Amino acid sequence: MMAVLPLGGCETVHFYSQAATGQLKVLAGRKPIDRLVQDEQTDPTLRRQLEWVRAIRAYAAGELRLPVGTAYSDFTQLEDEYVLYNLVAAPEFSLSPKRWCYPIAGCASYRGYFKKHDAETQEARLRAEGYDVYLGPVPAYSTLGWFDDPVLSSFVNWTPDRLASLLFHELAHRRVYISGDTRFNESFATAVSRIALPDWRRRNGIAAPKVANVEQARRVNGLMVSARKQLQDIYDSKATDEEKRQRKANTLQQLRYCYRKVSEGWTEDEKFTRLIEKTNNATLALVSEYQSQVPAFVQLYKDSGSDWEAFYTAVEQLGALPKDERKKRLKLLNERAQASSKKVTGPSLHRDTCMSAAN
């Protein structure tokens, strides 16, 4: 999930006001989890989920060496289904997301609103300016240690392994956060969660995801990577804007066609379908921010002897480098990770090879 520091920015007084009001409302509604677990009036289902939270926090602090402190030791019941609505925008002919800058968190490639109406208003403005836009609900975010983030009703009832994945991700932001580099921060936090989950599942007797589900996610990711590469070639070309516009539309149409072919017979694929149907420059940029550098961080973890403290130190050293040098190091790590992996990247978008497992 996205890590958002809602205080900050340079857009309007209204944005600052809604951010401050929303954050204070979340904090004001906190109730100690320990007290709720002990209270006989607490709903049994909620009590069970909060007990999972306590176990996840203990694992994150003890095994992952994350600075848990008192984060996620409280629970807040929200009035709405989601706590935030995030906007991601990208120019018509670019896969680089628009960046918003904040005085504390630096620049980020998303903007968080506590009220959906506010997010929709800004979404309409950006579309009118010619941006591709993605607007999505956010169940959780991190204030990067500035506040003790509570567990929210928007995610408390998730399955234990999904709950663990989220908390590991958000707590990782409290350990390492590089101002102004969303891709670095989100890929790092995603990698921490991905590395930690197998051991956490094993210790808690939770089965790993079904092979079919993992394969489906890999295939969808392969299609999106292929679409991203094709679009980048289009945008880098010397074609006219009208030609680029038509070729872009054809590529996105082909993406949806190939997804329908590849996903024939799948079950429980609604989330993939929604993602593909919404895919544009903004959604492709969003996926890249969270996923593109994950293999590099997994490789760095292995290079660190699979030792968490050594890994965090290596990540901090990497983050201290100038951004261009940091990108070069991550690219080399990604290449090493790909060279050592026997997995194929997934199907291409060519109409006659959409069903191919490797292209």
Residue with tokens 């051991």: 199
3-state per-residue secondary structure call for 36-98: HHHCCCCCHHHHHHHHHHHHHHHHHHHCCCCCCCCCCCEEECCCCCCCEEEEEEECCCCCCCC
What is the per-residue pLDDT for 9?
Answer: 40
Q: Does residue 355 carry a pLDDT above 50? A: no
pLDDT tens across 35-52, in order?
999 999 999 999 999 999
Q: Do 114 and 6 touch, CB atoms closer than 8 A?
A: yes
Q: Do 177 and 69 touch, CB atoms closer than 8 A?
A: no
Q: Does residue 83 carry a pLDDT above 70? A: yes
Mean pLDDT (whole number) for 116-120: 92
Q: Do 120 and 172 touch, CB atoms closer than 8 A?
A: no
Q: Does residue 347 carry a pLDDT above 70? A: no
327 or 291, greater pLDDT: 327
Mean pLDDT (whole number) for 106-116: 86
Q: Which tokens belong to 59?
A: 């694992």
Kindly tell me the sign of the dihedral angle through the C-alpha atoms of 58, 61, 62, 63.
Answer: positive
Angle 200-203-208 from CA coordinates, rounded to 5°: 60
What is the per-residue pLDDT for 209?
Answer: 84
Mean pLDDT (whole number) for 3-7: 41
- 239 burial via Cβ count (<10 Å: 0-12, 13-18, 19+): middle
| Amino acid (1-letter code) at residue 328 | K
What is the per-residue pLDDT for 353?
Answer: 58
